[in-house]
Amino acid sequence: MLLAALLSFILAAPGAIRAASKAVMVYYMPWFTAKPYCDGWGWHWTMNHFNPDRVNASGERQIASWYYPLIGPYDSSDPAVLEYHVLLMKLAGVDGVIVDWYGSANFLDYHPEPSAPLQRP
């Protein structure tokens, strides 16, 4: 209930959080795929080495990241995750988002077989 009241206060007062005179922008990379939202773990969580299906004694999955997300490995296309990220940005006073978007085509920012040389179509 307190969270809902806080959110309604913050969302009703645009710009009230702004601490700097310059715009605060964040860079968002929406290429993470994860279970159970998708069928499997995306390359950015595994890097062909880690296995997110393995869970340690602390309940954390084995992922290809030095830092562990508070919500665990997530899927960037999950609407609940997107809403969570946007609310965090609003609460932090972020003015705008730069999204790294390659479109809907199957375009990879890495070679699907890391041992093979890069090939151009």
Beta bridge partners of 98: 27
For 103-114, give one letter per residue: b (16+ CB within 10 A) or e: eeeeeeeeeeee
Poorest-confidence range of 4-18, 49-63, 86-100?
4-18
Q: What is the pLDDT of residues 39-72, one digit of tens each?
A: 999 999 999 999 999 999 999 999 999 999 999 9
Average pLDDT over residues 17-35: 84
Q: What is the pLDDT of residues 83-92, one digit of tens each?
A: 999 999 999 9
